[in-house]
């Protein structure tokens, strides 16, 4: 786990209130799905999923509070302190095909997963759900990787009209297994539709590595910490409250 100041190479808005930050750091040799970022003036770090681990690292985040709003003001050439990578990762399982389902800013960690699946010679299909056309991002990036990408919007302003689950139900895809990340409502629907697979559970966090108990949830195996035991859990493992 690193704790280091990192040069920002790019910090641009790619959809409504959604920013892509490229960091001048190579994290490929480090396991972990997210980073804790330190924002000036805020004591608590912000947990943000890693979208792309390459010779540079890409994170994508939405400005949902004052901390992320402050992050969005950082410019190329500024530095940001990162702690991580933290948490576990989606496992690569047997089989030739993989279905990925994501909602909004739950989609970024599925990009790193899609890269790994495609590197393992698997055919990847991703269903991406957004509220409206202005929220859509990374459709082309998934297609450029070689994935089949489908988009839905709640208001029908782009792609299929409805949720990512409505989109799934409109396609003739296997219900055997999926990987998913997104808001709780999407994950609950995934848990109903699929008996096997993995979800990445988003949560408020504080320390990010298992010390403060801020992220505890109940599972069929007892209490677990999302930051340390997750954020990736098996479908059927979490007890939703
Ligand atoms: Fe502190 Fe998970 S955020 S234990």
The 10s digit of each residue's pLDDT in 2-50 is: 999 999 999 999 999 999 999 999 999 999 999 999 999 998 999 999 9
**Helices and strands (H, E) in the chain, number of each type:** 6, 15
Report which protein residue has its CA nearest ligand 1's atom 4.
Answer: 210
pLDDT over 90 at 148, yes or no: yes
Q: What pLDDT, on the 0 to 100 scale, is given for residue 241?
A: 81
Q: What pLDDT, on the 0 to 100 scale, is given for residue 205?
A: 86
pLDDT over 90 at 1, yes or no: no
pTM (two decimals)? 0.96
Ligand 1 mean position, distance from CA 213 (Å): 5
Residue 218 and residue 227: Cα distance in Å, rounded? 13
C-alpha distances in angstroms, 241 versus 103, 167, 195? 20, 26, 19
Q: What pLDDT, on the 0 to 100 scale, is given for residue 223?
A: 96
Q: What pLDDT, on the 0 to 100 scale, is given for residue 21?
A: 98
Closest CA to 85 of 61, 102, 109, 106: 109
Q: What pLDDT, on the 0 to 100 scale, is given for residue 30?
A: 96
- For the chain, percent of residues with pLDDT exceeding 70: 100
pLDDT over 90 at 204, yes or no: no
Q: What pLDDT, on the 0 to 100 scale, is given for residue 129?
A: 98
End-to-end CA distance of the chain: 31
Interval 207-234 mean pLDDT: 94
Q: Range with the lowest mean pLDDT among 80-84, 230-234, 237-241?
A: 237-241
- How much is the mean pLDDT over the chain? 96
- Contact between 180 and 191 (Cβ < 8 Å): no
Residue 7, strand partner residues: 79
Residue 145 and residue 107: Cα distance in Å, rounded? 15
Q: What pLDDT, on the 0 to 100 scale, is given for residue 203?
A: 80
User: Residue 168 is inside which H or E element, if any?
Assistant: helix 164-170
- Contact between 46 and 74 (Cβ < 8 Å): no
Residue with the two structure tokens 């739950």? 106
Ligand 1 mean position, distance from CA 88 (Å): 13
Residue 81 and residue 141: Cα distance in Å, rounded? 27
Q: What pLDDT, on the 0 to 100 scale, is given for residue 211?
A: 92
Burial class (CB in 10 A: 0-12, 13-18, 19+), 113: buried
174 lines ligand 1 (CB under 6 A): no
Ligand 1 mean position, distance from CA 159 (Å): 37
Q: What pLDDT, on the 0 to 100 scale, is given for residue 156?
A: 98
212 lines ligand 1 (CB under 6 A): yes
């Amino acid at each position: 786990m690193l704790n280091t100041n990192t040069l920002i190479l790019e910090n641009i808005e790619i959809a409504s209130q959604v920013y892509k930050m490229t960091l001048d750091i190579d994290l490929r040799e480090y396991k972990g799905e997210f980073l804790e970022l330190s924002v000036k003036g805020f004591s608590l770090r912000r947990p943000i999923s890693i979208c792309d681990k390459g010779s540079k690292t890409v994170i994508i985040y939405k400005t949902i509070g004052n901390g992320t709003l402050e992050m969005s003001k950082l410019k190329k050439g500024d530095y940001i302190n990162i702690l991580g990578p933290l948490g576990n990762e989606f496992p690569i399982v047997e089989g030739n095909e993989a279905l990925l389902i994501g909602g909004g800013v739950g989609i970024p960690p599925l990009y790193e997963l899609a890269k790994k699946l495609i590197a393992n010679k698997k055919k990847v299909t991703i269903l991406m759900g957004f509220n409206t056309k202005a929220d859509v991002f990374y459709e082309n990036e998934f297609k450029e990787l070689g994935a089949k990408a489908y988009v839905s919007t709640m208001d029908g302003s782009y792609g299929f009209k409805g949720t990512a689950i409505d989109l799934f139900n409109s396609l003739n895809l296997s219900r055997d297994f999926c990987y998913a990340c997104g808001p709780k409502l999407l994950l609950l629907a995934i848990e109903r539709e699929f008996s096997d697979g993995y979800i990445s559970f988003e949560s408020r966090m504080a320390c990010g590595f298992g010390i403060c108990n801020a992220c505890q949830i109940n599972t069929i195996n007892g209490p677990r910490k999302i930051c340390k035991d997750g954020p990736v859990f098996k479908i059927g493992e979490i007890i939703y409250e």
